[in-house]
Amino acid sequence: MEFVAIDVETANQNPSSICQIGIASFSNGSLVRTWGTLINPEDSFLPFNIQLHGIGPSEVAHSPTWIDVQSVLRELLERCTLASHTYFDRGAMNGANARYGVKPILVSGWIDTCQIARTAWPHFSNHKLTSLARTFGITYEAHNAAEDARCAGEILILAARRTGLKSG
């Protein structure tokens, strides 16, 4: 199973206000690489978002912008199958691309790990990433984009084993 799990954190209610991105690459059911960076969203921060992920204006003041990370993102994501826990991250990336006038990264497809988890474990009371991690003993730092991506990827592997899903 080959895929790349992604996660973003945002500065405010606008999904295009990405202030952190994390990527976790998986091959043959194993984590092979993680990557993440803070991003200066060139936007305002809401106190709610800062409290959620701990990232504020001072943390991103000297960070690259969305435009600055495009070459790295294209290298890591182009033509890959992407996975994220809900399609929020997909919408955020599309929104940031549109905001900056950047062409979307061409990917092979998207997998919603939350939807796959609902199929694999319909009897669970919720399918939040934190709840699934706790259920399966996955330790991670919630609302850290690279850690969220890794956790979502591990959940996808568990769900794929249960349901027979194959990717890549």
Residue with tokens 């990527």: 23
What's the whole-model pTM score? 0.94
Instruction: Summarize pLDDT for 97-130 with one digit per residue, the tens.
Output: 999 999 999 999 999 999 999 999 999 999 999 9
pLDDT-based confidence at 4, cuts 50/70/90?
A: very high
CA-based end-to-end distance of the chain: 6
What is the number of residues in the chain?
A: 168
Q: Classify strands 81-84 and 109-112 as parallel, antiparallel or unpaired.
A: parallel
Residues of the chain above pLDDT 70, percent: 98
Q: Which band of pLDDT confidence, cut at 50, 70 and 90, is reported for residue 167? A: low
Answer whether residue 155 shows pLDDT above 90.
Answer: yes
- Whether the pLDDT of residue 168 is over 60: the answer is no
Identify the pLDDT of residue 1. Answer: 82
Instruction: Give the gyration radius of the chain's Cα atoms.
Output: 15
pLDDT of residue 164: 83
Q: 123: exposed, middle or buried (C-beta count within 10 Å: 0-12, 13-18, 19+)? A: exposed
Q: Contact, 22 vs 144, CB < 8 A?
A: yes
pLDDT in tens, 34-89: 999 999 999 999 999 999 999 999 999 999 999 999 999 999 999 999 999 999 99
